[in-house]
Amino acid sequence: MKQLRIRTLAGVFVIAGVLSWAGARLWNAVGTLPRVPLAAPIVLALIAVVLMATALSLRARLKAQRERHPGASGVDPLVAARAVVFGQASALVAALVTGMYGGTGVFLLESLDVPARRDQAIYAGFSVLAGVAVIAAAFFLERVCKLPEDDDHNGGTAPVS
């Protein structure tokens, strides 16, 4: 399984942001701009909380297993792999959604004097912060579930694929 790359997530974020900004400008010229939902930052924050809770739970279980605590329940490798896949998928979607709300928020900054647009810009800003929290939690979950390098088996000479 490949690790998340910040470069990939940043690329998705920038492309989505630019397209969203351009789309918001075009949509505003043609008609009314769609609203940024109030639920967007709430849902993203809930996903970040679930990812963080999963990471902390797995970290505690792995630590107890490593230290051979009596009665420690081990971590099934398939459960850890599924958690990492969930984290990676969440990070990619969060990068896309964060870019979209970021681009829309930048467009909305031009008209903060209108109360409705100001509220929409605030919702977009909170969505961006919650999206960054999802990405950070996904990286933490991936770090928790990462296996240590096995240099003894290869003698340290074979490349890791």
3-state secondary structure the chain: CCCCCHHHHHHHHHHHHHHHHHHHHHHHHHCCCCCCCCHHHHHHHHHHHHHHHHHHHHHHHHHHHHCCCCCCCCCCHHHHHHHHHHHHHHHHHHHHHHHHHHHHHHHHHHHCCCHHHHHHHHHHHHHHHHHHHHHHHHHHHHHHHCCCCCHHHHCCCCCCC
Tell whether 101 is covered by a domain.
yes
Tell whether 79 is covered by a domain.
no
Tell whether 135 is covered by a domain.
yes
| pLDDT tens sequence for the chain (161 residues) | 788 899 999 999 999 999 999 999 999 888 888 888 999 999 999 999 999 999 999 998 888 887 777 777 777 889 889 999 999 999 999 999 999 999 999 999 988 888 888 999 999 999 999 999 999 999 999 999 887 664 445 544 444 44
The count of domains in the chain is 1
Tell whether 13 is covered by a domain.
no
Tell whether 100 is covered by a domain.
yes
Widest CA span in the chain? 67
From CA 129, how far away is CA 137, in angstroms rounded?
12
Tell whether 9 is covered by a domain.
no
Domain of 129, in residue numbers: 96-147
Tell whether 108 is covered by a domain.
yes
Rounded to two decimals, the pTM is 0.85
Tell whether 43 is covered by a domain.
no
